[in-house]
Amino acid sequence: MQECHCEDKQMKLAQLLLKYKDTPGALIPVLQQAQEIFGYLSPELLREISAGLRIPLSRTYGVATFYSQFHLKPRGRNIIKVCQGTACHVRGGSKVLEAIKRYVGVETGETSEDLRFTLETVACLGACGLAPVMMVNEETEGQLTPDKAVKKIADCE
Amino acid sequence: MINLMDNCCSKCTHSPATPCSNYVLCRTAGPFCHTDKGCEEKRKNHINNVRVPSGGNYQQIIVCGGTGCTSSGSARLVDSLKEAVNEAGLSDRVAVKRTGCHGFCENGPIVHIKPEGIFYTRVKPADARDIVNHLADGQIVERLVYRDAAGNSYPHFHEIPFYAGQTLILLTNCGHIDPEQISDYVAVGGYRSLVKVLQHMTPEQVIEEIQLSGLRGRGGAGFPTGKKWAAARRAAREIKYIICNADEGDPGAFMDRSLLEGDPHSVLEGMIIAGFAVGSHQGYIYCRAEYPLAIKRLKSAIQQARQWGLLGKNILNSGFDFDIDLKEGAGAFVCGEGTALQASIEGLRGMPRVKPPRSTEKGLWEKPTVLNNVETLANVPLIIQMGAEEYRKLGTEQSPGTKIFALSGSLVNPGLVEVPMGKTLREIIFGTGGGIRDGKAFKAVQLGGPSGGCLAEQHLDLPVDFDSLSSVGATIGSGGMVVMDEGACMVDVARFFLAFTQKESCGKCTPCREGTKRMLEILERMCRGEATLDDLADLERLCRVVKNTSLCGLGQACPNPVLSTLQYFREEYMAHIVEKRCPAGVCAELVRYRIDENLCRGCGLCLKNCPVQAIRGQRKQPHAIDDSRCIKCGVCLSKCKFKAVVRS
Amino acid sequence: MTNSIDEIAGADLILAIGTNTTEAHPVISLRIRRAIQRGAVLVVVDPRKTELAELAHIHLQIKPGSDIALLNSMAKVILDENLWDKEFVESRCEGFEELVEAVQGYTPELAEELTGIPADSIRQAARAYATVGKATLLYTMGLTQHVCGTDNVLAAANLALLCGQIGRESTGINPLRGQNNVQGACDMGALPQFLAGYQPVADETCRKKFSEAWGGPIPDQPGLTVGEMMQAAIRGSIKGMYIVGENPVISDADANHVEKALNNLDFLVVQDIFLTETAKLADVVLPAASFAEKDGTFTNTERRVQRVRQAVQPIGNSKADWQIICALAEALGLPMRYQNPEEIFNEMAALTPSYAGIRYERLEKEGIQWPCPAADHPGTSILHQEKFVRGKGKFHAVAYLPPDELPDRQFPLVLNTGRRLFHYHTGSMTLRTDLREICPTEQLDVSVHDAQCLGLNQGDRVKVISRRGEVEMTVRISETVPRGMVFASFHFPEAAINKLTNHARCPKSNIPELKVCAVRIEKV
Amino acid sequence: MSDITCTINDKSVTVPRGTTILTAAAMLGIDIPTFCHDPELSRYGGCRICVVEVKGWGQLPASCVTEVREGMEVYTESEKVLEARRTILELLLANHPDDCLTCEKTGACRLQEYAYRYGVRKGAFPGACHAYPVEADNPFIMRDMNKCILCGKCVRVCSEVVGRSVIDFSFRGFHAKVATPLDSGLLNAGCVFCGSCVEVCPVGALTEKQRIGKGRPWELDSVTTTCPYCGVGCQINLLVKEGRVVGANAAGHGVNGRHLCVKGRYGHGFIHHPERLTNPLVRKNGQLHEVTWEEAIQEVVRRFGRIKQEYGGQAIGVLASARITNEENYLLNKLARLVLGTNHIDHCARL
């Protein structure tokens, strides 16, 4: 387990808000940097940013949901995308998915509490010949078995 | 004097605090303030280290550090080369340097030996020692030399057909200077245009020069840059802004990225000149966050320009103040639109606003604002340096200058090319681009990304300039050029672009928000073979209405991919609708895979690889595909060694 | 108001004293916001950090009751720095020397001691008010409900005269009145010393005019104010009262005292639409129709006379107040026969110069601002344009006077009272609407600091105790109140805050000091 | 500033520079449909229903944001314009619930009005539709974002006029939605329920909870009167059906224009409250009992008569009211001084 740096993070946020509180147009850089500190933009964080910059929360929310760079839910350090295309499905993709879920301990679309993984499914990765397939971060992994998939994931930080 | 920008000796006193108007020239042709042979020598050495003149005792190994070559491992290659140079004991006369993009990305990592001009492609770290060993003996490492499809080899940079057809004026520096060293830029003549402007020209003269040059905005619309500047100059307001639009979002376009990564100071110089001409003291560069390397290089360029007094207060003792802030985009294609970009800088949702008022009257923070894209601004120092008259000799009457294109798709030589305006599509695609890959036939070229159109065979002899292309329903766009061969389905291409614009619509105006969604749904139905002729009529009507009534340029242009494919490839649409057939065999739902009994040897490879066990057959007997199980993934086709699997 | 509501949006500076505009006059606050959007400066004088104070460019967080010290000091700064409007003062005002003398001692430093506002902020505000083109001064009960309420207003008027910020568009001294027809009630002579149109009852000519028109004699001595009537009731010199559409048991200061007075009467008639806390004490209760069930006119805070129109029939056997009054008059032997309110209006207009030119048909589309002396007069949006009513504008020398009851060891906190957005007055109307759902009960605003000292948490039940009574309430810890102050509204009969308030009154206007009294808090 | 002359539908009009086509057309009595335009709010130009054809222009400009130019020839109902308007209406309807039958806005809905005017029916573009939950977490305002056409008037009125910005656009493209902060409802957003957003909403996306099922617009009588609350004197319309006040809205003129506060707009439930006094009461044996008017009046006359007789009129006090009308205050004034013979008349002017 990593050490918790909550206080550190709060301190960084306070400094960030202090730095930008009188700068017009600071919302987007502040959201970017806050997301860098916390990994994602939680409701509490958006509230704090709004209060700190004296920007209506509705506007902060509007901006945070407009740009694709911003995540309002926590994201893991590793993004796992398991293919759910037809080919993968009939080749045991769902078994692979189940094994990954068990290992990571989350449902599809969720992120593990230690923020190690975000588990997502995709319609088709276009690598049907290698089915079942998943993508871990930028790497495509094919011809998976449940064991092989878990082993691959276990290597991730 | 570690750096060309440093003070040569104690007599040289320039610093941003005590700026001197001769600073830039003094670096290259000086010293002016005192006479000292030694100081002159120091300068010469520094300059030679950058320019590497032939006949000198000095060689340089240039490694391409563009995004393409970096992703194919050029950073490690630099290390290996440095190591090899050290090992060979050549470090005092051979330098290893990383530059910006060479444009020949497909063949990276690229290595270029100066002054000989030897050009290596696909170089691996393991090749480092061979390259270094052959430096001294003047030999060429044959295996690393570029070869075309016919097997001809081209050991020198200037011989390669890809470069031979180009006119490199904007991209020259990209392959030659270290973009993270301001001194490299100054050594090759950088910031001299700024000096000229500040010392010898009035703002009006600068604007006149730009107007005379006929420079038109390279962002897509082709608006005359000088006219824009003049309008902003006329606006009688204290505060004005210059914005560099570096939010290059078109899929398949990376011209601006290459310029920013390879020659960031040329863009800064263009901005400072624009600021002087317009009467602005603050500039912003809005760069998309997806370009981390460009952001890094811009940051270092801005920091260095400030450090040496080329940005900030009283630039070169001219009394003119100008500074630049870098703003990172947050992932929204629409922010490439000027007013949306301004909203984004203001910290708002990137939604375009209606014009007029034009940005030159009321732009960022409601102040007069000049918004130019990266390539446009990079042209500015060039025009000042060459003079408008000379500049106009490039390109066409109505579209002077060069244009950088990002060539991609089914080409022999995809990459970044710079050609004079007015070259024909054929020259670019079949000349510089080397023609269609794998001996296939040309089918279409998509220009200008989601705002542009698809042109066909009959347009190949059209000159590429702003006006010729718009006459046939395409635009030059920002310069993306995707070439498609006979294997491309034009309905699918239209669907692809619509899916992109639909996803990126900001949602402000009804036609774009709702219209693109319905257009996409219709195109999806067509690709699935579910569309009717009524759908086609609806699609055409939507195209008209979205084009005629959308709020911003992006919305107005987003039907172009559909309209142009409808115009030039209508029969393909009809095949999808009426015959439920995809002639190119791309649309999965309309494709059938079949095994030609005569060609099948019964090897079982397809059967083994089929992910859904849709293929049956005894060994050594012809196999067959069960349509009801086939998911049309195409694995069988790609695996078959006997071309027995047929797609129809 | 000397000026009109619309003009607020055009001001360059708004000096808002003791007005919680966004809650008490929400629609006027829209004009303030528009002015700010246009670039106007907002200066707010308020002990609380109200929403308006949050909007302000300068918030002068004043100690309650020290307004004169602030306003005199601002005048001194303006005089000392030579920022006053010499031409205006010379040509339109008198008593300048008295003012100069009266404010001489009020250095910003002294004012800082008395008001708790930094001297520099006082200077800053004074300079801003004096130097902008158009400054409008808005105030409400925060300025007036003090033992020195009248002097507070005079001190504000001095400032406006001194800077010539009156008699022009978007300037003036503008009290924002709290009730729909409080202006009209005053205009109509529902005041002990005035007949309709502020014609003194003690003035023989005026009296004569009315008694001739009415056909009977009118007593010549000015009568008693509400507070005095209550005292008289306790003393026994007032035996009977007729209360129409008022709920003094909840709304007036020192409610226990009011209740005692009303209980001491021989006979009490209350006329209202609900059985209010006051009506419950009555011997006869007369059911009145609401505003929706009758015709008539109201006069708003900018002196605009506007129509009230009947939308539905009176509920049950209730009757419009005018009909009840007519019935009573008739039964008392002096018949008043009117077909409709318009006839009453016309009779009134004939006797009231400022309303003389107003007729119902002229009010069809938009109201008319009095004075409107003739049928062809368009009404008056800005008062005192050419000259003041009395001729020259008079400076009044006024001096700082501390509140009647200050906190002490036994009652260490200041109780401030006022209004909340979602309710109105004694709640007899709003508590019977869906508004109750969104704001079901009153809470006592306590500062973070005091809550910590007293060990109070959000939602704790407490007893608030003054020398005159006690009320139980729930605590809301709030950043709006300063340390040492608690705040509550008087909207909720179940938390009748006026049981606590002080009945000490301004000797000139008889306004009670509802903004300051001393209380302590005990956890229940 | 000089004036500009242009023609609209071949009629010539001269207007000041800076006038929009929409305004110039209105001066000629030509009605151009609008959703997002509002003279009180900033120019937006998002809905595009007001597009017109200008001779020589490629695009169809939005008339609400395009200023007329000298010699401009505008056509407001050309074939091209009609096709565009119909298509835009079809697009809006394609993503709009088909429930005009029960929608509160029926009869006052601009989408409905224009669909009728241009003969457009639902069904042109089958496809995805929004399915947002209806937000009704508060007593006053119902938000059904499925009906929203994203004209943004509510967003602008809340920020530009009311100055609160409790709602704003969120997400983008097809998923763009006017949302409360973090989608957590108006109650948590610091909304003051002034209802200005409802007032400006051209469709059924924002409606008043109090008025659900209380009557169609055409069934309601609207009586303009003055608000009974604070001293601002806002002009309101009381909406009446079958002798009952079922709602209120701003009269659109007077000091308040289209704006009110929560009390003026939603605080009229007291009128028909069951606790209203409907008969006179007289205290008998310590208890208040309902009596007839005659009895009550007689009681008052008898008791006041006795006091007057014994102690004189000066023993009677009258409290008039800041709540009743001018006429009534005047009469009370007359009653006190003339009939009862007392100048002890006052009211709560100081509270």
Nearest to D282 by CA among D260, D266, D298: D298
Q: What is the pLDDT of residues C167-201, one digit of tens each?
A: 999 999 999 999 999 999 999 999 999 999 999 99
Q: What's the distance, CA A47 to chain centroid?
A: 20
How many Å apart are CA A44 and CA C89, to the nearest integer? Answer: 56
Mean local confidence (pLDDT), A37-49: 94
Secondary structure of residue D3 in the 3-state scheme: strand
- Asked if residues D53 and D78 have their Cβ atoms less than 8 Å apart, the reply is yes
Q: Is 80 exceeded by the pLDDT of residue B82?
A: yes
> Is residue D43 within 8 angstroms of chain B, CB to CB?
yes
In chain D, what are the domain boundaries? 3-77, 214-276, 281-346
Ramachandran angles phi, psi of C355, nearest 5°: -105, 0
Whether a cis peptide bond, with omega within 30° of 0, leads into B611 is no
Nearest to B338 by CA among B311, B358, B316, B313: B358
Structure tokens at C84: 């006053």
Nearest to D319 among C196, C241, C510 (CB): C241
Does residue C154 or residue B20 have the better pLDDT?
C154
CATH class of the B490-577 domain in this structure: mainly alpha
Amino acid symbol at C336 = M
Q: Which of B621-635, C63-77, C221-235, C277-291 has the lowest mean pLDDT?
A: B621-635
Does residue A125 or residue B210 have the better pLDDT?
B210
Q: Is A4 annotated as a binding residue?
A: no
The answer to whether the CB atoms of D174 and B505 lie below 8 A apart is: yes
Q: Per CATH, the architecture of D3-77 is what?
A: Roll (3.10)
Q: Per CATH, the architecture of B182-392 is what?
A: 3-Layer(aba) Sandwich (3.40)
Q: How far apart are the first and last CA of chain C?
A: 44
Sign of CA dihedral D79, D83, D89, D93: positive
Contacts of D183 (CB under 8 A, 6+ apart): A61, D170
Nearest to C68 by CA among C170, C187, C150: C150
Element (H, E) at B454: strand B454-456
- In chain B, residues with a C-beta closer than 8 Å to the C-beta of A28 are 327-328, 330, 344, 347
Going by the DSSP 8-state scheme, the letter that residue B346 receives in this structure is: T
Q: What is the pLDDT of residues C18-61, one digit of tens each?
A: 999 999 999 999 999 999 999 999 999 999 999 999 999 999 99
pLDDT at site B565: 95
Min Cα separation D164/chain C (Å):
10
In chain C, what are the domain boundaries? 5-176, 182-369, 413-523
Q: How far apart are the first and last CA of chain D?
A: 51
Would the CATH topology of C182-369 be identical to that of C413-523?
no
Mean local confidence (pLDDT), A85-94: 75
Structure tokens at B143: 């295996």
CATH class of the A78-154 domain in this structure: alpha beta
Q: What is the pLDDT of residues B494-520, one digit of tens each?
A: 998 899 899 899 999 999 999 999 999
- In chain D, residues with a C-beta closer than 8 Å to the C-beta of A47 are 182
pLDDT at site A4: 56
Q: What is the pLDDT of residues B230-260, one digit of tens each?
A: 999 999 888 999 999 999 888 778 889 889 9
CA distances from B623 to B288, B475, B602, B640 (A): 51, 49, 6, 11
Q: Where in chain B is the domain with CATH 3.40.30.10?
A: 59-164
Nearest to A90 among B344, B609, B612 (CB): B612
Q: What is the pLDDT of residues B32-77, one digit of tens each?
A: 888 888 888 888 888 888 888 887 788 899 999 887 788 778 889 9
Q: Is 90 exceeded by the pLDDT of residue B293?
A: no
Enter the pTM of the model.
0.92
Within chain B, how many helices (H) and strands (E) appear?
Answer: 27, 19
CA distances from C283 to C267, C279, C286, D283 (A): 6, 8, 10, 5
> Is residue D21 within 8 angstroms of chain B, CB to CB?
no
- Asked if residues B520 and B498 have their Cβ atoms less than 8 Å apart, the reply is yes
Q: Is D314 exposed, middle or buried (0-12, 13-18, 19+ CB in 10 A)?
A: buried
pLDDT at site B448: 85
How many Å apart are CA B634 and CA A124, to the nearest integer? Answer: 13
What topology is assigned to B592-647 in CATH? Alpha-Beta Plaits (3.30.70)
How many Å apart are CA B588 and CA B580, to the nearest integer? Answer: 11
Whether a cis peptide bond, with omega within 30° of 0, leads into B19 is no
Residue reference for tokens 């500039």: B283
- Asked if residues B427 and B459 have their Cβ atoms less than 8 Å apart, the reply is no
- In chain D, residues with a C-beta closer than 8 Å to the C-beta of B537 are none
Say what the alpha-carbon torsion angle C515, C516, C522, C524 is, to the nearest 10 degrees.
-20
- In chain A, residues with a C-beta closer than 8 Å to the C-beta of B345 are 25
- Asked if residues A81 and A134 have their Cβ atoms less than 8 Å apart, the reply is yes
- Residue A1 pLDDT level (bands cut at 50, 70, 90): very low
Nearest to A71 by CA among A46, A106, A90, A101: A46
Q: Do C and D share at least 3 CB pairs under 8 Å?
A: yes
Q: Is 70 exceeded by the pLDDT of residue B265?
A: yes
Q: Per CATH, the architecture of C5-176 is what?
A: 3-Layer(aba) Sandwich (3.40)
| Low pLDDT (below 50) residues in chain D | none
How many Å apart are CA C28 and CA C26, to the nearest integer? Answer: 5
Mean local confidence (pLDDT), C467-494: 94
- Asked if residues C133 and C145 have their Cβ atoms less than 8 Å apart, the reply is no
Min Cα separation A46/chain D (Å):
9
How many Å apart are CA B338 and CA B336, to the nearest integer? Answer: 6
Q: What is the pLDDT of residues C77-101, one digit of tens each?
A: 999 999 999 999 999 999 999 999 9
Residue reference for tokens 């002054």: B115
The answer to whether the CB atoms of B611 and A90 lie below 8 A apart is: yes
Q: Is 90 exceeded by the pLDDT of residue B566?
A: yes
What's the CA angle centered on C29, arms C24 and C32, to 5 degrees? 145
- Asked if residues B40 and B30 have their Cβ atoms less than 8 Å apart, the reply is yes
The answer to whether the CB atoms of D45 and B509 lie below 8 A apart is: yes
Question: How many Cβ atoms sit within 10 Å of the Cβ of residue A69?
Answer: 18
How many Å apart are CA A72 and CA A66, to the nearest integer? Answer: 11
Chain D, window 62-101: residues with a beta carbon less than 8 angstroms from a chain C beta carbon: none
DSSP states along chain A: -PPP-HHHHHHHHHHHHHHHTT-TT-HHHHHHHHHHHHSS--HHHHHHHHHHHT--HHHHHHHHHHSTT--SS---SEEEEEE-SHHHHHTTHHHHHHHHHHHHT--TT-B-TTSSEEEEEES--S-GGG-S-EEETTEEE-S--HHHHHHHHHT--
Say what the alpha-carbon torsion angle D204, D206, D212, D217 is, to the nearest 10 degrees.
-50
Chain C, window 280-299: residues with a beta carbon less than 8 angstroms from a chain D beta carbon: 280, 282-288, 290-299
Q: Is 80 exceeded by the pLDDT of residue A122?
A: no
Q: Do B and C share at least 3 CB pairs under 8 Å?
A: no
Min Cα separation B223/chain A (Å):
28
pLDDT at site A2: 47
Chain D, window 188-217: residues with a beta carbon less than 8 angstroms from a chain C beta carbon: 192-194, 210
Residue reference for tokens 């910290």: B347
> Is residue D165 within 8 angstroms of chain A, CB to CB?
yes
Amino acid symbol at D221 = D
CATH number of C413-523: 2.40.40.20
Structure tokens at B248: 């290059």
Nearest to C311 among D238, D325, D347 (CB): D238
Q: Is A124 annotated as a binding residue?
A: yes
CATH number of D214-276: 2.20.25.90
Residue reference for tokens 């060293």: B181
Q: Which residue of B has its CA nearest to A91?
A: B611
Q: Is 90 exceeded by the pLDDT of residue B148?
A: no
Min Cα separation A1/chain B (Å):
30
In chain A, what are the domain boundaries? 6-66, 78-154
Q: Is A83 annotated as a binding residue?
A: yes
Nearest to A28 among B330, B633, B635 (CB): B330
- Residue B107 pLDDT level (bands cut at 50, 70, 90): confident
The answer to whether the CB atoms of A32 and B328 lie below 8 A apart is: yes
Q: What is the pLDDT of residues B599-639, one digit of tens each?
A: 999 999 999 888 888 999 999 999 999 988 888 888 888 88
Structure tokens at A71: 């995540």
Say what the alpha-carbon torsion angle D144, D146, D152, D154 is, to the nearest 10 degrees.
0
How many Å apart are CA C330 and CA C134, to the nearest integer? Answer: 53
How many Å apart are CA B588 and CA B582, to the nearest integer? Answer: 9
> Which CATH superfamily includes the segment(s) B59-164?
Glutaredoxin (3.40.30.10)
What topology is assigned to C182-369 in CATH? Rossmann fold (3.40.50)
- In chain D, residues with a C-beta closer than 8 Å to the C-beta of A54 are none
Going by the DSSP 8-state scheme, the letter that residue C29 receives in this structure is: H
Secondary structure of residue B235 in the 3-state scheme: coil
Whether a cis peptide bond, with omega within 30° of 0, leads into D126 is no
pLDDT at site D297: 96
Go through C15-37 and write b for each residue having 16 or more CB atoms within 10 A of its CB, e for each that does not: bbbbbbbbbbbbbbbbbbbbbbe
Nearest to B373 by CA among B468, B259, B239: B259
For residue C44, the cross-strand partners are: C16, C59
Q: Which of A87-101, B107-121, C208-222 has the lowest mean pLDDT?
A: A87-101
Mean local confidence (pLDDT), A82-111: 84
Q: What is the pLDDT of residues C113-141, one digit of tens each?
A: 999 999 999 999 999 999 999 999 999 99
The answer to whether the CB atoms of C438 and D316 lie below 8 A apart is: no
